[in-house]
Structure 1
Amino acid sequence: MSVTDIHCLLVRAIKERRYVSFNYQSLDRVVVCALLGLTNEGNLAVRAYQIEGKTDSGRTPVWRNFLLSEMNEVSLGERYSCISLPGYFPSDTSFSRIDASL
């Protein structure tokens, strides 16, 4: 799947409020995507709240930016209606461009 395809899928996930599962750095993850765009470093990334799966730190839930270029096996999950996202700031200053957000 290309970065463009992943970008389109994540825009859809944000608009439709769907969980996303993928493999990142050889670890399977399930997240709620909150913000998608271009980081200040010039990388396409998604700001997401990881609710399931493995992490390097061993903790979930956790906020994290994921680079689209490093995401594999990306798929949409079920829709969610009400979920708490503590610590979410829609005006994330680590992004220079926002393509989609909750």
Structure 2
Amino acid sequence: MKKENYILVRHYCKRTHIPDAFIKALNEYGLIHYKQIETEIYILDEEIPEIERFDRLHNDLGINLEGIDALNHMLSRLRNMESEMNTLRKRLRLYE
């Protein structure tokens, strides 16, 4: 069974200088998911690399949230296609 580690968004934002409004916006777009308990918001530690990637896209490249959402969707489709290609290559090798 996998143990889930949650991080308090307030602390994470303070350490990384990423605005908490940006994290809330990412959640609204469905790019990440957080858990709200009473007045505090928590994110899974698994979400950290994605948040940092989205922050770099937003700040370094100037891509808005709609663009980040589109890029994320395209990358997801590309990964699925690569996986499907690898599966098909393995099947093809059986017939060689």
TM range (shorter): under 0.3
- Structure whose residues are more often helix by fraction: 2
TM-score (norm 2): 0.24
Higher relative contact order (CA 8 A, sep 6+): 1
- Structure whose residues are more often strand by fraction: 1
- Could you say which structure has the larger radius of gyration? 2
